[in-house]
Amino acid sequence: MMRRGLRRSAVGALPLVLLFGSQGVAAAPTAKEHAQRARALDKEGRFDEAIREYEKAYELSHDPLLIFNVALEYRKDNQRQKALEAFTRYVTLVPGDPSSDEARSYIAALRREIDEEEASQAKAREAAAEPVAILPTTTTVPAARDHSDAPAPGKRQRLTSFIVGGAGIAAIAAGTIVVILAHSDWEASRAGCDADNVCTDSAYDQATSARSKATVATVLFGAGIAAVATGTVLYFMAPSASSAERAARWRVTPTFTGGTAGVAVTAGF
């Protein structure tokens, strides 16, 4: 009888142990949940956090497509070298998959971009390291020249104003063309985005191109307006004739007539 009572007590306590034990252990996120978090973070532009979530999902599921998503996130975050490594890893995992061809096209494009960036940085380093030759300074006395055929200072300044103003007009025209191209890229990118502003890769590239062109157009407009204003000021500030030129129009000549000395004043117009 005593043994039977002990058995009943043990069996009755078992549900309580299972109940309290289940409340103290939280279920770990699944690979699907990590992937869903990554997509939500991508929409918010938090690419680094999205990469970590995709990597956690891959650790649980070992689905190669998650590595492809990691590579895309690195590319959106302008981490070209890491994107190249991730795409290469994906091709290694599934070399015969149809999506591997898309990954290979990304690899080729990333290699070109990395090579161009490295070449640009190398040129910048060479320009910074190029020694500047210091020439000896000599003082020379210029020979007297006949300035009768030289243009007046006012003419030179007006000519300069036309050149500067013309350059400003050209910059404004170029800015207008760039604005048209930027607007075209932006409209084209909208076709590849849904209502939540989630875009395809081609639409994302077009939107990035539109922003870059808009920045260039802003710079061109600013420079053009400044150049036109400078040319206008130079034109209206140009002197009509210098005091030396006005003085040169009057000539005083000594005269001697029959033992009488005098001066003759002539004016040129």
pLDDT of residue 52: 96
pLDDT of residue 111: 95
Cα angle for residues 26, 59, 51 (degrees, 5° grid):
95
pLDDT of residue 61: 94
Q: Is 237 left (phi over 0), alpha (psi -120 to 50) or beta?
A: alpha
pLDDT of residue 231: 83
**Torsion, CA 185, CA 187, CA 191, CA 197, rounded to 10:** 90
Distance, in Å, from the CA atom of 265 to the CA atom of 250, rounded to the nearest integer, reads 7
pLDDT of residue 81: 96
Residue-wise burial string across 173-195, b where 16 or more C-beta atoms lie within 10 A, e elsewhere: ebbeebbeebeebbeebeebeee
pLDDT of residue 168: 87
Distance, in Å, from the CA atom of 44 to the CA atom of 152, rounded to the nearest integer, reads 64
Residue 55 structure tokens: 């990597």
pTM of model > 0.75: no
Query: Across the chain, how many H-helices and E-strands are there?
Result: 9, 2
Which residues of the chain fall below pLDDT 70? 1-26, 131-152, 195, 240-269
pLDDT digits (tens, 9 = 90+) for 111-170: 999 999 999 999 999 998 876 555 555 556 566 565 556 566 777 888 888 898 889 899
DSSP class per residue in 76-122:
HTT-HHHHHHHHHHHHHH-TTSTHHHHHHHHHHHHHHHHHHHHHHHH
Residue 127 structure tokens: 């320009």
pLDDT of residue 141: 53
pLDDT of residue 200: 87
Cβ contacts of residue 223 below 8 Å, gap of 6+? 168, 171
Specify the residue for token string 């210091």: 134
Distance, in Å, from the CA atom of 57 to the CA atom of 63, rounded to the nearest integer, reads 8
* Residue 212: closest CA among 181, 191, 190: 181
